[in-house]
Amino acid sequence: MTTLPQWPHGKRMAVVVSVDFFDTHAILTQEPRMAGREKSLSVWQYGARRGVDRLLQVFEEFKLAASWFVPGRVAIEHRALVQRIHAAGHEIGNATFACEDFERLSLAHQHDSLCSAQAALRDATGVAPVGFRAPFGNWSPGFTQHLREAGIEWSSSWRGDDRPYFHPPSGTSTTPLVEVPLHYELEDDPYFTFNLFPPVPVGQPRIASYREVLANWRQDFAGFHRFGLCLPLRIHPEILGTAGRIDLLRELLTTMRAHDDVWVATGREVAQWWRSQHDGNEPGHPVDVLAPLQQASQLS
Amino acid sequence: MQLRQSLWPEGKRSCVALAFDVDGPTGNAMLDGSIWRNPAFFTLGSYGPWRAVGYLLDLLAEYRVPTTFFVPGWVLETWPAQIKAIVDRGHDIGYHGYQHEAFWQLTRARQQDVMARSLALFHKHLGLTPTGFRTPSGDWGDDTIEVLLDAGVTWSSSMRGDDRPYFIEHAASGRNLVEIPGRWELDDYASLAYQRHPDFPAGLDRIAPYDTTLDNWRREFDGSHRDGLCMTTLFHPKVSGKPGRILLLERLLQHMREADGVWFATCGEVAQWWRTVHPPAGAMA
């Protein structure tokens, strides 16, 4: 009864590897008590120091192009590193200016953050990003139109499906924004992020077992492969780009590459493919259910 | 402790009443309106009815397991085709609030409203009157049992305190409900659910390993089967109906299908059996 998506060249499924190169900005938004705490912040600074290079090395080994989400400030503060990521053939997407939580920002400020980041990233790489990730997942109604006007073609911020979908058309834009939806179980942060104090995660859970996480990811991959879906892997240089964990990525990619019917692509490529194949969402898609209800709640 | 005599039809050894709560995005964030500013969370919850239910129905057909789905009215009116497919494929549907209201915090009148509103939607979209109820968020109020009985509900799967059905009496009217209790060990929230903002688990504990989760669930079945009991589940399509976890459920169903003498039944069938064969002491059979 379930209709399964088609992928290019007769491939069975798609994999998008995305990297959040947020440095300290997302954690400072998430946990303001982090400010000024050098030891704690250095956990997140490890990404720029070592993790990015380690991820780049693995991507080169696997001849894989990833989609990196970079806030504008990181493009300014780590300009040479961002240029190297770009030169290695990866896609660079916009991750707001300083990983602001858009739920606490007015639409106008969300727009400013988007545009400042777009300018900073274009300045660093010479190319304006077409991908976008809201680090905390949300934005206000109306922001989708700003994204399209800024030249953004795809986002990977929301959830609710296991294949791409279209955000409702907005404004004068004729081609809607494509979403490559996320799944927490395919992110490294829920399993591994840790800081003693301020506590991250808030309840101080143990760090998960590496081999069990790899086993979970392999099973998630097997499920996405069986159903022919789009698997979004979301990783961080400071979390998975460490000496002890980088082999989890290698082993997972080895598992994926053992199949010759897996299309590993950037978000941009997947969004382009989806656009070429589909005119709209299946009726009743959550994103289409949501829009009028958001409007109604604003009026009431 | 193993029972000497089978409690189940045809001398079957134990009973499995597999059940899912199709909450979708309903719950506190919808009730307080914050979900309309939280599209990441709205879409996370929507995955269950929108996508996962379809995968689950295929799996349940393959293993021929009649199952009970508890569906809030809001989910039914939002995705009627997906919910109708549950009925069309032979499964049972029970009440689960309109937007997953916590019944123990509602006045009697509000509880009655929620039941009436849900019933109207079940009539409109499915042409049926549910007989069973699972209380959203687990607890109910002192007056809930009477509200349920007045709404025509004959059984519930809301409690945790036993491993086989029992009767919940409404002393004032002499009426009763059959209760089919679940256990937290068989709630996929306790092992696999994860979300941020609102955070679950509250302390953002890690997602459990799938292998050890499966081992726990198998052991729960093994014990229930050995002792001849009734096992139900509090699974959620948005949690354990995701692509990687469907494989986990598949292995659990395989394991249960390999056992001899399991009565796979809907909660409604279990309740009816219990009322007929194991009536409360002093009641007319």
Which one of A1, A162, A179 makes the best mutation probe of the B interface by having the most chain B beta carbons within 10 Å?
A1
Question: Beta strand pairing status for B175-179 and B166-170?
Answer: antiparallel
Q: Note whether residue B285 is domain-resident.
A: no
Q: How far is A93 from chain B (nearest CA, A)?
A: 19
Q: Note whether residue A111 is domain-resident.
A: yes
Q: Note whether residue B44 is domain-resident.
A: yes
Count of structural domains, chain B: 1
What's the mean pLDDT when you consider all of chain B?
96
Q: Do B243 and A157 touch (CB under 8 A)?
A: no
- For tokens 């946990």, the residue is A31
pLDDT category at B281 given cuts 50, 70, 90 is confident
Is the pLDDT reported for residue B174 higher than 90?
yes
Tell me: the pLDDT tens digits for A243-296? 999 999 999 999 999 999 999 999 999 999 999 999 999 999 999 999 999 999
Count of structural domains, chain A: 1
Predicted local confidence at residue B137, as pLDDT: 83
| Inter-residue contact B209 to A215 (CB < 8 Å) | yes
Whole-number CA gyration radius for chain A = 19
Predicted local confidence at residue A2, as pLDDT: 59
- A136: which chain B residues are within 8 Å (Cβ-Cβ)? 40, 197
Tell me: the pLDDT tens digits for A110-143? 999 999 999 999 999 999 999 999 999 999 999 9
Q: Note whether residue A50 is domain-resident.
A: yes
Alpha-carbon gap, residue B13 to B223, rounded angstroms: 12
Domain that holds residue A83: 8-299
Alpha-carbon gap, residue B151 to B131, rounded angstroms: 9
Is the pLDDT reported for residue B168 higher than 90?
yes
Q: Note whether residue B70 is domain-resident.
A: yes
Q: Check CB contact of B205 with chain A, cutoff 8 Å.
A: yes
Instruction: Report the residue count for chain B.
Output: 285
Tell me: the pLDDT tens digits for B197-237? 999 999 999 999 999 999 999 999 999 999 999 999 999 99
Domain that holds residue B191: 9-277
Is the pLDDT reported for residue B284 higher than 70?
no
Predicted local confidence at residue B285, as pLDDT: 43
Q: Note whether residue A278 is domain-resident.
A: yes
- B194: which chain A residues are within 8 Å (Cβ-Cβ)? 184-185, 190
Is the pLDDT reported for residue B73 higher than 80?
yes
pLDDT category at A169 given cuts 50, 70, 90 is confident
Predicted local confidence at residue B131, as pLDDT: 98
Q: Note whether residue A213 is domain-resident.
A: yes
Alpha-carbon gap, residue B78 to B186, rounded angstroms: 28
Is the pLDDT reported for residue B166 higher than 60?
yes
Q: How far is B81 from chain A (nearest CA, A)?
A: 9
Q: Do A220 and B79 touch (CB under 8 A)?
A: no
Q: Note whether residue B3 is domain-resident.
A: no
Q: What is the ipTM of this complex?
A: 0.97
Q: How many CA atoms lie within 13 A of A40 on its CB side?
A: 19
Instruction: Report the residue count for chain A.
Output: 300
Q: Do B81 and A1 touch (CB under 8 A)?
A: no
Question: Beta strand pairing status for A131-132 and B68-71?
Answer: unpaired
Q: What φ, ψ does residue A148 adopt, rounded to 5°?
A: -65, -40
Q: Note whether residue A54 is domain-resident.
A: yes
Predicted local confidence at residue B98, as pLDDT: 98
Q: What is the DSSP string of A39-70?
A: HHHHHHHHIIIIIHHHHHHHHHHTT---EEEE
Is the pLDDT reported for residue B45 higher than 70?
yes
- Cβ count within 10 A of residue B128: 12
Q: What φ, ψ does residue A201 adopt, rounded to 5°?
A: -65, 165
Q: Note whether residue B270 is domain-resident.
A: yes
Give the one of A216, A221, A284 whose C-beta lies nearest to B79's C-beta.
Answer: A284
CATH number, residue B176: 3.20.20.370
Alpha-carbon gap, residue A251 to B126, rounded angstroms: 48
Q: Note whether residue A3 is domain-resident.
A: no
- For tokens 């058309």, the residue is A169
More confident residue, B138 or A219: A219
Alpha-carbon gap, residue B197 to A228, rounded angstroms: 30
- Cβ count within 10 A of residue B146: 17
- A216: which chain B residues are within 8 Å (Cβ-Cβ)? 207, 209-210, 244
For B96-188, strand residue ranges (E) read 132-133, 155-156, 166-170, 175-179
Q: Note whether residue B202 is domain-resident.
A: yes
Predicted local confidence at residue B282, as pLDDT: 62
Q: Percentage of chain A surpassing pLDDT 70? A: 98
pTM: 0.97
Is the pLDDT reported for residue B144 higher than 90?
yes
Q: Check CB contact of B58 with chain A, cutoff 8 Å.
A: yes
Is the pLDDT reported for residue A1 higher than 50?
no
Give the one of B55, B197, B248 whose C-beta lies nearest to A2's C-beta.
Answer: B55
Give the one of A134, A183, A212 whose C-beta lies nearest to B211's C-beta.
Answer: A212
- For tokens 């519930």, the residue is B156
Is the pLDDT reported for residue A75 higher than 80?
yes
What's the mean pLDDT when you consider all of chain A?
96
Is the pLDDT reported for residue A298 higher than 90?
no
pLDDT category at B283 given cuts 50, 70, 90 is low
Question: Beta strand pairing status for A131-132 and A165-166?
Answer: unpaired
Predicted local confidence at residue A277, as pLDDT: 96
Q: Note whether residue B135 is domain-resident.
A: yes
- B47: which chain A residues are within 8 Å (Cβ-Cβ)? 159-162, 286
pLDDT category at A4 given cuts 50, 70, 90 is confident
Residue in chain A closest to B51 (alpha carbons) equals: A161
Q: Note whether residue B1 is domain-resident.
A: no
Is the pLDDT reported for residue A41 higher than 90?
yes
Residue in chain B closest to A156 (alpha carbons) equals: B40
- For tokens 């998630």, the residue is A220
CATH number, residue A235: 3.20.20.370
Alpha-carbon gap, residue A140 to B83, rounded angstroms: 30
Which one of B23, B36, B86 makes the best mutation probe of the A interface by having the most chain A beta carbons within 10 Å?
B36
Predicted local confidence at residue A173, as pLDDT: 66
